Amino acid sequence: MKLTEAEWAVMNVVWERRSAVAREVLEAVEGRTGWAYTTVKTVMSRLVDKGALKGRKRGNTVVFEPLISREQARRSAVRSLLDRAFDGAFGSFVQHMLTQEKLSSKDRLELERMLAELEPRPPRSRKEASR
């Protein structure tokens, strides 16, 4: 599932709240984007068309919920970046991250912590069931 920039902005809001109506999404992104209400609606319709959202009519309005998980979308975004920009090679990607991107030491610590945590034996995160 490939999402456009605008679609990410919308999906991020819906994922965060687990479900949302158009106006909520608008309010959440308005500051950054300056979109009109109808713009949000259009983007959301397209997301329904492409199977990323499902809308359920409740009275007058439509409540949207995600049909794809954030992790799923993230995976394919990462995959796609790796393929087009890093020859699909994880190694060159990591190399890039560590040498080219300016990581704050906080970032680096985070990275370490996670590695360490993962190191002894892949500990399942406590939040297990996520397809």
Contacting residues toward its own copies, per CB under 8 A: 5, 8-9, 12, 71, 73-75, 77-78, 81, 84-87, 90-91, 94-101, 103-105, 107-108, 110-112, 114-115, 117-120, 125
We find the least distance from the C-beta atom of residue 16 to DNA, in angstroms, to be 19
Separation CA 117–CA 120 (nearest Å): 7
Partnered with residue 66 across adjacent β-strands are: 53
Residue 86 binds which entry of DNA, its own copies, none, CB below 5-8 Å type-dependent = its own copies
Separation CA 88–CA 79 (nearest Å): 8
**Interface with DNA (CB under 7 A):** 2, 4-7, 21-23, 33-39, 41-43, 45, 55, 57, 59-62
